[in-house]
Structure 1
Amino acid sequence: MIRMTQRARSVALNTIRHAALAGVLLTGAMTAMAQTDTPVGVWQTIDDHTGQPKALVQITQDGDGTLSGKVIKGLNPADSPDRRCTECTDSRKNQLILGMTIINDLKKDGDKWDGGHILDPENGKVYKCNMHLEDGGQKLVVRGYIGVSLLGRSQTWIRQQ
């Protein structure tokens, strides 16, 4: 049996605590890093007309690896939480915008996600969509277009912590 002095036991326990804390911090840092190389997370959208924050959209990865995005919060105090997509022409017609899936079917393609669609609840139109990350994963450039990507517009969304 190894005998340890009180001081040696204290040093050993502190070493174990520090190692455990370092492991927890490293795991947290790796998780944060992994989250910044994918659009999965919560994003603040910006209103094209006012330049003000508009909504929070949560992007998730589905079981088949595709991304989808849902409006989880409106940020404009003038917008009612009971606001509906009156301009939508598909199954989302007159549905609440809050909780609505507006992005679907995006697949990873190199350093971007492509092949999906995005709904603009303001006009009810569905556009083809692609997106890519910038600024170390803190910004998401979302492009909606008709036909080819050159004929469209982009928005930059900001990652929320």
Structure 2
Amino acid sequence: MKNILTYLFCMGFLCFSLNAQDVTGKWKNFNSDGKVNSIIKVYKKDGKIYGKVVKIMKEEDRDRVCTKCDGELKNKPIEGMVIMRGLHKEGDKYVGGHIVDPKKGKEYRCKIWLKENNPDLLKVRGYLAFFYKTKTWERVE
């Protein structure tokens, strides 16, 4: 009986640990001042990873639209916008996708990964050729 309980405990812990390693969920995006700017929901659809702005923290910015975006995102509300799309898993990273910066209206290639030894921090890198910027998003509790 003791062995069975130990086994069940270990299996439950293993399942919890594996779930904690997932990039999906809600993440806090920070501005340059270190304040939470928005909440991004990262989700899986058709085997790919996407990110959608589900909440903009400043109430006065919630009705903003992407005036600088091109194509189908032009003049669309930023809150509710899918800003990250098309990433697929490659090793311990998700690559091959794109991310939009609604403030600049620019789209960049993108890759994301969980910070080593801390699955509650998501590294998000947007890049154009050899230039890149990496931000750290924090998992919402």
- TM-score w.r.t. the length of structure 2 is 0.86
AA in 2 matched with 1:55: S
Q: Which residue is equivalent to 1:152? A: 132
Q: 2:44 aligns with which of 58, 61, 70?
A: 61
**Aligned residue runs from structure 1 range 94-105, under 5 A:** 94-105=75-86
| Match of residue 55 from structure 2 | 73
Secondary structure of the residue aligned to 1:138 is strand
Supply the AA of the counterpart residue of 2:41.
Q
Q: How many residues align?
A: 136
Report the TM-score, using the length of structure 1 for normalisation. 0.76
- What is the alpha-carbon distance in structure 2 between the residues aligned to residue 117 and residue 32 of structure 1? 30
Q: CA deviation at 1:59?
A: 0.5
1:122 is aligned to 103
Shift, 1:136, TM fit: 2.6
Structure (1 or 2) with the larger CA radius of gyration: 1
Contact 1:35 1:41 in 2 (8 A): no
**SS at 1:33's partner residue?**
helix
Gaps of 5+ in 2: none
**Partner Cα separation in structure 1 for residue 76 and residue 83 of structure 2:** 12
Give percent identity, aligned residues only: 32
Structure with more strand by fraction:
2
Which position in structure 1 is the counterpart of 2:121?
Answer: 139
| RMSD, aligned CA | 2.2
AA partner of residue 98 (structure 2) = H
Specify the alignment match of 1:44 in structure 2.
Answer: 28
Work out the CA distance in 2 between the residues paired with 1:83 and 1:32: 38
Match of residue 35 from structure 1:
19
Runs of 4+ in structure 1 over 2 Å off: 29-36
Deviations 1:39-80 (CA, angstroms, capped at 9, x unpaired): 1110000012x22110000000112x2100000011134x43
Cα distance in 1 for partners of 2:51, 2:19 equals: 15
Distance 1:31 1:74, change over 3 A: farther
Verify the 8 A CA contact 1:146 1:152 in the aligned structure 2: yes
